[in-house]
Structure 1
Amino acid sequence: MLDKKEFLQKYRISEQDFEEAKISWEELTAIYENYQSMETTLREIGKDFVDEYLYDIQKAGIHSYRYRTKEPGHLLEKIIRKRRENFQKFDRIDRWNFHKYFTDLIGIRVFFLYREDWIHFHQYITSVFENDPAQYVENRLEDFDEDADHYYIAERPKVYKRAGDSRIYDDQLIEIRSGGIYRSLHYIIKYKGHYVEIQGRTLFEEGWSEIDHDIVYPYFKDDIMLNDFSTLLNRLSGMADEMSSYFRRMKMMRVEEEQEKEHERSV
């Protein structure tokens, strides 16, 4: 049996925060237990996805990948947080339908060496899955497709870009959300009856993000000093991405120069 006091303490949720979520501890416990019973199936679905679509990293246009299922306690914390932030949107969530609300129970990360390489993965993933705006989910309950054999992109692909990023994204292909502190691609795929969330980042961006999530997000978001250090590390990772792009561009220039010299010598 999940202990309420220990849970609230672990995830830094006050009793007032819990009350504001307007959901019983009994219902949360039932969600927790139901999710645990689903985890093995979700892990298998995640493995099937990467084996079928991402194992050939060259074909997928990525450097590497990893996948995971959401930790049960984090699911409950997210339910409480979302109900507090937007109760009307999440007021009907329960032990039977929670998997329809959250698209990140199965999460996959794909990584790029260079930020410009996003386009290769985008072209790949939109070629192997239907990407019809008419099928994008708006109402989590009413729009949920019960057909487990229907695989498709369930939301418009989007990218969160850093403030000051150079223009490398095409808003005809992907929704661009600006002004953030991190850069990340997001795709929601309906696969084998469940949502699969794919996030695409550079290796440098992933390094900062993992450290930020381990130390700051979501329980120390109000700690000024930790946020300052995270912001500094974020800037360094952004600079590393910029330098990597310039580094590759210089190499390509050197290769072109050598090819021109070789051509002149052969004439």
Structure 2
Amino acid sequence: MFERDVFLRAYNIDETDFEAAAIPWEELAAIYDDYLSIEGKLRGIGKEFVNDYLYDIERAGIHSYRYRTKNPGHLLEKIIRKRAEQPERFAMIDRTNYHKYITDLIGIRVFFLYREDWIYFHNYITTVFENNPAGYVEDRIRDFDEDPGHFYIAERPKVYRRNGDTRIYDESLIDIKSDGIYRSLHYIIKYRGYYVEIQGRTLFEEGWSEIDHDIVYPYFKDDEMLKDFSTLLNRLSGMADEMSSYFRRMKSVREEPGKNRKERRALTGGGNIWSEQEER
């Protein structure tokens, strides 16, 4: 474990923010050591999850996916930040229960080529996992299910959408958050005794998010110039998604006449079997 001052400098945490978190450095060090001892296990759980539920991307309704376990330093940074932002909710977090509070120790990203395709993944994931609102976790300690064999969706699915985005989400199915510029679907799955966080984005959204997290969040989130550049890139990614949707619609319009000709030929029995080129 690295020294406290080295950690605070590395993660751009000033002394005031650390004191506001009101958690001893010794407890953070114990969490760090415990997490290192289970990280390999978590990596195996994540691999098992994607192999069992996401490997068949057509069945899952996605373009692609990737997964990771949380970086140990980022885990401590998140605990400090959450303790400072929500002291009452995270007051009891410690080395024995941090896995009940932090829902992204195992993180999975699923990607869509077109953002309207979110509904296919939503229908899939809410079918293969129990999605009972009565089982949603509110109190991280009281509501934690100790049964590692009980797999279920632990929070109401939600989506963060940018103000001005096309309204493609159904609020009867998913909780819609419209603040800010962040775009992502979120599902929290209880699996093998731990939480797995699934985030769903288009490929363009993922490109913006990766750059934003690499440069702006969380270390330079107060830098106005970097925030402005990130906002501009976010708008461009949104425009790219809109254009992708238009491309697909135009493709459908142009394919329709050809489809009708093929149907007429099949009904009349005229001509040879369609060529591979015609099928395309």
TM-score by length of 2: 0.93
Per-residue deviation, residues 181-218 of structure 1 (Å, max 9, x unmatched): 12211000000000000000000000000000000000
1:170 paired to 2:166: no
Q: Tell which structure's C-alpha radius of gyration is larger.
A: 2
Matches of 1:262 and 1:110, distance apart in 2: 36
Structure 1: tracts of 5 or more residues without a match: none
1:137 paired to 2:104: no
1:33 paired to 2:33: yes
2:64 matched residue in structure 1: 64
Per-residue deviation, residues 212-263 of structure 1 (Å, max 9, x unmatched): 0000000101111111111110000000000000000000010112223555
* Deviation of 1:162 (Å): 1.4
Give runs of aligned pairs for residues 171-186 of structure 1, distance below 5 A.
171-186=171-186
Matches of 2:23 and 2:179, distance apart in 1: 34
* Deviation of 1:7 (Å): 0.2
1:239 paired to 2:239: yes
Per-residue deviation, residues 58-88 of structure 1 (Å, max 9, x unmatched): 0000000000000000010111111111111
Residue identity opposite 1:111 in structure 2: F
1:128 paired to 2:128: yes
2:114 matched residue in structure 1: 114
1:87 matched residue in structure 2: 87
1:226 matched residue in structure 2: 226
Per-residue deviation, residues 133-172 of structure 1 (Å, max 9, x unmatched): 0000000011000000000000001111111112211111
Matches of 1:84 and 1:41, distance apart in 2: 29
2:204 matched residue in structure 1: 204
* Deviation of 1:118 (Å): 0.3
Per-residue deviation, residues 27-76 of structure 1 (Å, max 9, x unmatched): 00000000110100100000000000000000000000000000000010
Look up the SS of the partner of 2:88 in the other structure: helix
1:248 matched residue in structure 2: 248
Matches of 2:220 and 2:117, distance apart in 1: 33
Matches of 2:16 and 2:228, distance apart in 1: 28
Look up the SS of the partner of 1:167 in the other structure: coil
2:278 matched residue in structure 1: none
Look up the SS of the partner of 1:93 in the other structure: coil
Matches of 2:264 and 2:189, distance apart in 1: 51
| Percentage of matched positions with identical amino acids | 73
* Deviation of 1:179 (Å): 3.1
1:73 paired to 2:73: yes
Residue identity opposite 2:34 in structure 1: N
Matches of 1:85 and 1:264, distance apart in 2: 65
Matches of 2:129 and 2:263, distance apart in 1: 44
TM-score by length of 1: 0.97
Matches of 2:182 and 2:27, distance apart in 1: 35
Per-residue deviation, residues 72-129 of structure 1 (Å, max 9, x unmatched): 0001011111111111111111000000001000000000000000010001001100
2:273 matched residue in structure 1: none
Structure 1 residues 47-56 or 158-167, which shifts more? Answer: 158-167
Root mean square deviation of aligned Cα: 1.2
1:260 paired to 2:260: yes
